[in-house]
Structure 1
Amino acid sequence: MKWSELCIHTTNEAIEPISNILHENGASGLVIEDALDLEREHTSIYGEIYELNPEEYPEEGVYIKAYLPINSFLGETVEEIKQAINNLMLYDIDLGRNQITLSEVHEEEWATAWKKYYKPVKISKRITITPTWEDYQPVDTDEIIIELDPGMAFGTGTHPTTVLSIQALEQFLHKNDTVIDVGSGSGVLSIAAALLGATRVYAYDLDDVAVKSTVLNAKLNQLEEKIIAKQNNLLDHVKVEADLIVSNILAEVIVRFIEEAWERLKFGGYFITSGITQSKKQLVKEHLEQQGFEIIQVNELEDWVSIVALKPNQ
């Protein structure tokens, strides 16, 4: 089968919403080439160095590459994607250059190309994320291994927003907690919560593909009994009482369900939010405080922010 590579030159801020648009339009696999990757230290837990080719990366911003089957509907699909991306500007999302190019590739090329970017990475004191095809052996006795099959590429677990979320989970989650993961994506945060000791994790995502990805990855980590994944719009109609809620999603979406998060959290419970850009940090903080949350921590990694809020005891 022949495939078309759709390359979008955009910003870090736009990665998640554009990725969702691409998935909704039938993209099979994504590659994200971030100019900042060339500046980061890429030594893995093995001591290996990732060999990245600077010629494949933009001078600034990111390339998001999606793969669409070449068929009679391709032209219409591409136009729908372009329109949906342009509509993101209505939500004050910086699209950067927003340049889109199209090229043809063969199946064997896209099926393996993105795997070279995905290696085992230790992202917190105890947690290492590894793809299913890598034979990784733990280095420390208390190391927690998360195996992921990114599949439709909802997240490899190494993006700064995910790292911040997992580091917060490691600090604030208590054994036997009940956890809600809003916008579960690949399920990496749900899996981390379960491995850190949560008794039950409720993973919600509006996208059915994300729900299936969470279910798949929960099974890969033998956690299908602890993680309940369902298709749902944020916390609409959710009745679960949680000790901790985590959400790695856009700031504009977080502020929409802060009241519901407050209602679902037990007193003394934590609300971990991530996916927040520097420009939206104050917006989220203000909405949390207006609801009655106490801001416990504000953590930053590169251009991203996570906020840990407490629902104080009565």
Structure 2
Amino acid sequence: MKWSEISIHTTNEAIEPISHILHEAGASGVVIEDPFDLTKEREDQFGEIYHLNPDDYPEEGVIVKAYLPVNSFLGETVDAIKESINNLIIYNIDIGINKVTISEVNEEEWATAWKKYYNPVKISEKFTIVPTWEIYTPVSSDELIIELDPGMAFGTGTHPTTVMCIQALERTVRPGDQVIDVGTGSGVLSIAAAMLGAEDVRAFDLDEVAVTTARLNIKLNKVNEVVTTSQNNLLDGVEENSADVIVANILAEVILRFTNDVARVVKPGGSFIASGIIQQKKDQVKEALIEAGFEITETILMEDWVAIIANRK
């Protein structure tokens, strides 16, 4: 089978929405080439356990890549992707250069391309994300391993917004907790919550393909007895006071739309972890959370991204 590589030269701010657009268009996952990864200093021991090749990275901005099967609908699919990316301007998202290029690869090259970009990454005190084909030996006895396969995953779990969510879950989830993961994508946050001792985790996503992807990853990591996955629009229809922790790694614009719903569903004293927020919209999200009855307990910063931990009063 022939595959088409679609490459979008854009900005850090646009990574998440463009990744979602590509996912909805039928891509199994995305590759992100960010030149900042070549030079950034690690504040601690967390980071990539491999060497990066500078030739793979742009001089400015970021490149988001995905792979689509070559078929009779490819032209229409690419046109739809371009239109959706252009429409991000409506939401005040900077799409940068927005140069889209297409190239063709065969199936063997496609598989190799995924593996070149995807290696074990220690992302927090406890968690390391490992591709399914890698043999990885834990460094410590309490290290938690999440296995993901980019052939089935939406993202690799190592984007700053995801990393911050997992670090926040480590500080928030307690054994026996009821957790809801809104916009689960690959299911990585639900998997992490289950491994941290949550008794029940509900993973929601509006995208049916994401729900299927999450189920596969959840089963792969043997937490399917704890995590249930279903198609749902944010927290629509979820009962009041039914979660100790709610986590959402989605766009700030979406978070602003359902803060009151989060306040309705999370238990008094419970926590809301919100990520996917760009620096410019941090204060707007904080104000909405405070207005909904939350107290901001922690703000986590990583590169241009923000995650907020808030407790319901």
TM-score band w.r.t. shorter chain: over 0.9
Alignment correspondent of 1:27: 27
Which shows bigger deviation, 159-168 or 108-117? 108-117
> 1:262: Cα distance to partner?
0.4
Q: Deviations over 1:200-235 (max 9, x none)?
A: 000001111111111111111111110010011111
Distance 1:222 1:243, change over 3 A: same
Instruction: Say yes or no: does 1:302 pair with 2:303.
Output: yes
Instruction: Say yes or no: does 1:165 pair with 2:130.
Output: no
Measure, in 2, the Cα distance between the counterparts of 1:28 and 1:175: 33
> 1:183: Cα distance to partner?
0.6
For the Cα contact (< 8 Å) 2:178–2:244, is it kept in 1?
yes
Q: Deviations over 1:83-105 (max 9, x none)?
A: 11101111111101111111121
For the Cα contact (< 8 Å) 2:297–2:309, is it kept in 1?
yes
Q: Deviations over 1:35-73 (max 9, x none)?
A: 11211369xx89996232222211111111122222222
Measure, in 2, the Cα distance between the counterparts of 1:93 and 1:236: 26
Alignment correspondent of 1:136: 136
Measure, in 2, the Cα distance between the counterparts of 1:99 and 1:142: 44
Distance 1:127 1:86, change over 3 A: same
Q: For 1:1-314, list aligned pairs within 5 A.
A: 1-40=1-40, 50-239=50-239, 241-312=242-313
Q: Deviations over 1:111-131 (max 9, x none)?
A: 221212222111111111111
For the Cα contact (< 8 Å) 1:7–1:64, is it kept in 2?
yes
Distance 1:287 1:216, change over 3 A: same
Measure, in 2, the Cα distance between the counterparts of 1:263 and 1:72: 47
Q: Deviations over 1:133-183 (max 9, x none)?
A: 111121212111111123344121111111111111101111100000001
Which shows bigger deviation, 199-208 or 26-35? 26-35
> 1:30: Cα distance to partner?
2.5
> 1:293: Cα distance to partner?
0.5
For the Cα contact (< 8 Å) 1:150–1:186, is it kept in 2?
no
Which shows bigger deviation, 227-236 or 55-64? 55-64
Which shows bigger deviation, 290-299 or 145-154? 145-154
Q: Deviations over 1:280-303 (max 9, x none)?
A: 101100100111100000110111
Distance 1:118 1:80, change over 3 A: same
Distance 1:34 1:221, change over 3 A: same
Residue type matched to 1:130 in 2? Answer: V
Measure, in 1, the Cα distance between the counterparts of 2:22 and 2:118: 20
- SS of the residue 1:94 aligns to: coil
Measure, in 2, the Cα distance between the counterparts of 1:306 and 1:95: 21
Q: Taking structure 2 as the reference length, what is the TM-score of the superposition?
A: 0.95
Identity of aligned residues (%): 65
Q: Taking structure 1 as the reference length, what is the TM-score of the superposition?
A: 0.94
For the Cα contact (< 8 Å) 2:10–2:64, is it kept in 1?
yes
For the Cα contact (< 8 Å) 1:161–1:275, is it kept in 2?
yes
- SS of the residue 1:255 aligns to: helix
Show structure 1 runs of 5+ residues with no match.
none
